[in-house]
A = this chain, B = another copy of it.
């Protein structure tokens, strides 16, 4: 019983040829949701968490990921901003990471109020294991893709994320300050 989740958007089955070729916003939405689910609570992250740090929670791994992507220690507020969450949330995850010796806090020399969160070697190794699993899945899933399609997807996804974010920021600013526009 397991019917296809995709009656709405006929595209693909992909293997053969003819994608329908149309641009249809209605078809885009379920795909975006699908990707969102995969990145937050699907078997991909479940699998990667299991490989990398059984028992650790997802947001804590997300903190480690932010540190990994930044390549340097970050303030609590900066991590919160990058994760698109609120300060206290980060505090709790950093507590957990510190308890597990995956990260530590040091006072920011430039501002005694602030704390810099930095990954420990074990923290770095943990997030590397996580990314190894995630990349492995993507890599195998995209095994059949042409180099050109990969580049195009990367470019278009980045542009899409940027353009949507920028437009929403514009709308939000308008809401806060109806004068402008």
Please classify the interface of chain A as helix (H, G, I), strand (E, B), loop, or mixed, using the class held by over half of its residues. helix
Interface pair B154/A166, CB less than 8 Å apart: no
* CA gap between A164 and B138 in the complex, in Å: 7
Residues of B within 8 A of A53 (CB): none
Q: Mark A45-78, 1 if CB is under 8 A from B, else 0.
A: 0010000000000000000010011110000001
A43 contacts B164, C-beta separation under 8 Å:
no
Nearest chain B CB to A77's CB is how many angstroms away? 8
Q: In the complex, A48 Cα to B51 Cα: how many Å? A: 37
C-alpha spacing A1/B35, complex, angstroms? 25
- B14 touching A159, Cβ below 8 Å: yes
Question: How close is A140's CB to chain B, nearest CB, in angstroms?
Answer: 6
Contact among B22, B23, B141 with A166 in the assembled complex (CB-CB below 8 Å) = B141
Nearest-Cβ distance from residue A175 to partner chain B, whole angstroms: 8
The reply to whether A153 and B154 contact each other, CB–CB distance below 8 Å, is no
- A156 and B158 contact, Cβ closer than 8 Å, known pairs A8-B69, A35-B32, A171-B43: no
Interface residues on A, range: 35 or more
A39 at the interface (CB under 8 A from B): yes
- Which residue of B is nearest A13, CB measured? B162
**Binary B-proximity of A70-92 (CB < 8 A = 1, otherwise 0):** 11000000100110100000000
* Closest B residue by C-beta to A22: B151
9 contacts across the A-B interface (CB closer than 8 A): A3-B82, A11-B68, A14-B163, A22-B151, A28-B157, A29-B39, A31-B157, A153-B153, A156-B157
